[in-house]
Amino acid sequence: MERLEEVMKRRDFVRLSGLAAAAGLVPNAGADALLSVADTLDRLPPLSPENAATDEAFWRKVRALYTPSAEFLDFDNANTGAVPASVVATYVRHVRDLNGAPNVHYLRLNDTTVYEQLATFLDTTMEEIALVPNATTGLNTILRGFPLAPGDEVLVTSHEYPDMVATLGLRARREGIVVRTVPVPDAREDPLMLVTRVERAITPRTKLMLVSHVSAWTAEILPVAELCTAARSRGIAVLVDAAQSVGYLDVKFRAWGCDFVGMSLHKGMGAPIATGVLLVRKDWFGRVEPLHPPTWDISKYPIGQYSWTGTANFAAWAAIPQAIAVQRGIGLARKRARLRYLASYWHERVRNLRGVQILTPGTPSRSFGFSSFAIDGVPSREVEERMREQHKILVQDKASRPFRPVDNAVRVSPQPYTTPQELDRLVRAIAEIAGGRG
């Protein structure tokens, strides 16, 4: 039985974090769903990542945890990933409870279980976790609130998400800060050249660096740990965009040694849409301005100032522990091994197609199985549209946004339970489009 002071500490953390304003904390509603998920995952054999990669029976069992579209082959999971059926059911139950009596259920749904689970999963503490709707909100909180004076510099890589670059551009126009872009090495170069280029780009006015763990353009893994070490050794704060990596790669706040991490959980983590996390190192509390200044006392749990966005989707947040349980049960290492196998499967079959280029490096240190390709003479927007309309396959055009590092790219991001036969459909569609290019 928990000691009384521990119970009160947990209750106090929720109340003072500023994420709910109702009275009356009742027992965690997610425990029964967690047990149900655990029972389902018990059916998965304890295979090593290497053995699981090609074991179709294993992935059929994983697929049974989800409800894939009957209309489309969804290879756009880096945009918004599939949500396990058990997580959807838990979320729906919480939505019904919340809408029945919101002021009663706000605090119940926002108990400390989600913070405890995330703290363990992300190598941090509850007091450094702010729940936000998505990575965009979390990253904007830091990019807008980080203390910068006119002439101060922010480094970004050439593979940063365009909305984040646009936010910094706004500050540059309004406040006179300087945004400097460091090019990511191409597939033929040593990836650690990026660290060298960052070190060369640093000046006495450099205050902050933004770097993606995984490129939203090509799905390439960037050397985040090495970049954090290089920047922090020069007194530069580091903001990591982990929207594309969490749920596939290990996101380790303490081990990286960065200052901030923003992420969405509705991609690789399989949490409900509009669930995100911002991690803030404690020594930045009060130095980074919040997006929405709270009107309550935050002195005891100041992380609450970075969660406040008005009324939030507590039902979605309360389903996060179930999503974590599913991903732990499947195993991140097994997911990576499977996705790398699937990538090598379809890459090998399109490699000799005339005009088709794979843009993502295939080495394990630079890729976990999502990748981008291009067809010479066919714009990526056209490829995306033909895939959807003619072949019922969902992919994403990566060359129609500003600040892009590539002029023609289509990203393919399957689920680990995708089958080789489904990838054969992708290969046939690429061959048909490439064969008819202008």
How confident is the model at residue 6, as a pLDDT? 44
Average pLDDT over residues 375-394: 97
- Can you give the pLDDT at residue 99? 85
Question: Quick one: which H or E segment has residue 197?
Answer: helix 193-201
The pTM score is: 0.90
pLDDT band at 40 (very low <50, low <70, confident <90, very high): low
Give residue 98's pLDDT. Answer: 84
pLDDT at site 30: 44
Q: Which structure tokens are listed for 110?
A: 């926002």
Q: How many residues does the chain have?
A: 438
Q: pLDDT digits over 398-423, tens only?
A: 999 899 999 999 999 999 999 999 99
Count CB atoms within 10 A of the CB of residue 294. Answer: 15
pLDDT at 35 over 70: no
Tokens representing residue 270 in the block: 């399989």
Average pLDDT across the chain, whole number? 90
What pLDDT does residue 33 have? Answer: 46
CB burial class (10 A; 0-12, 13-18, 19+) of residue 146?
buried
Token pair of 10, please?
């947990």
In a 13 Å sphere around the CA of 116, the CA atoms on its Cβ side amount to 12
Express each pLDDT in 206-242 by its tens digit: 999 999 999 999 999 999 999 999 999 999 999 999 9
For 319-342, the DSSP string reads: THHHHHHHHHHH-HHHHHHHHHHH
DSSP code at position 127: G
Within 10 angstroms of residue 190's Cβ, the number of other Cβ atoms is 10
Mean pLDDT along residues 77-97:
93
How high is the pLDDT of residue 113? 87
Predicted confidence at residue 311, as pLDDT, reads 82
Sequence-separated (6 or more) residues with CB below 8 Å from residue 4: none
Q: What is the pLDDT of residues 274-300, one digit of tens each?
A: 999 999 999 999 999 999 888 888 888
**pLDDT for the residue 107:** 67
pLDDT of residue 310: 84
Q: Residue 191 pLDDT > 80, yes or no?
A: yes
User: Contact 412/74 with Cβ under 8 angstroms?
Assistant: no
Does position 28 have pLDDT exceeding 80, yes or no?
Answer: no
Average pLDDT, integer, range 315-323: 93
Contact 129, 277 (CB under 8 A): yes
> What's the whole-number mean pLDDT along residues 331-348?
98
CA diameter of the chain: 72
pLDDT (mean) for 330-341: 98
Checking if the pLDDT of 24 tops 70, the result is: no
Count of beta carbons in the 10 Å neighbourhood of residue 331? 20
> What's the pLDDT at 312?
85
Using alpha carbons, select from 269, 91, 434 the residue that is nearest to residue 99.
91
What DSSP string runs through 401-438? STT-S-SS-EEEB--TT--HHHHHHHHHHHHHHHHT--
Residue 188 β-bridge partners: none
DSSP readout, 33-98? HHHHHHHHHTTS----HHHHTT-HHHHHHHHTTS---SS-EE-BTTTS----HHHHHHHHHHHHHH
Confidence band (pLDDT; 50, 70, 90) for 385?
very high
Tokens of 2: 């928990």
Residue 426 clears pLDDT 80, i.e. is over it: yes
Q: Span 350-369, mean pLDDT?
A: 94
- The arithmetic mean of pLDDT across residues 242-250, rounded, is 97
Highest mean predicted confidence (pLDDT) among 22-31, 51-60, 103-112: 51-60
Q: Is residue 118 pLDDT above 90, yes or no?
A: yes
**Which pairing describes strands 73-74 and 237-241: parallel, antiparallel, or unpaired?**
unpaired
Tens-place pLDDT, residues 120-135: 999 999 999 999 999 9
**Segment 28-50 mean pLDDT:** 68
**Tokens 């926002």, located at residue:** 110
**Residue 309's pLDDT is what?**
84
**Residue 177 structure tokens:** 């800060």
Q: Quick one: what percent of the chain has pLDDT higher than 70?
A: 89
Instruction: Kindly state the average pLDDT of the residues 10-34.
Output: 40
CA–CA distance, 110 with 104 (Å, rounded to integer): 11
Domains and CATH numbers, the chain: 113-326 (3.40.640.10), 332-435 (3.90.1150.10)
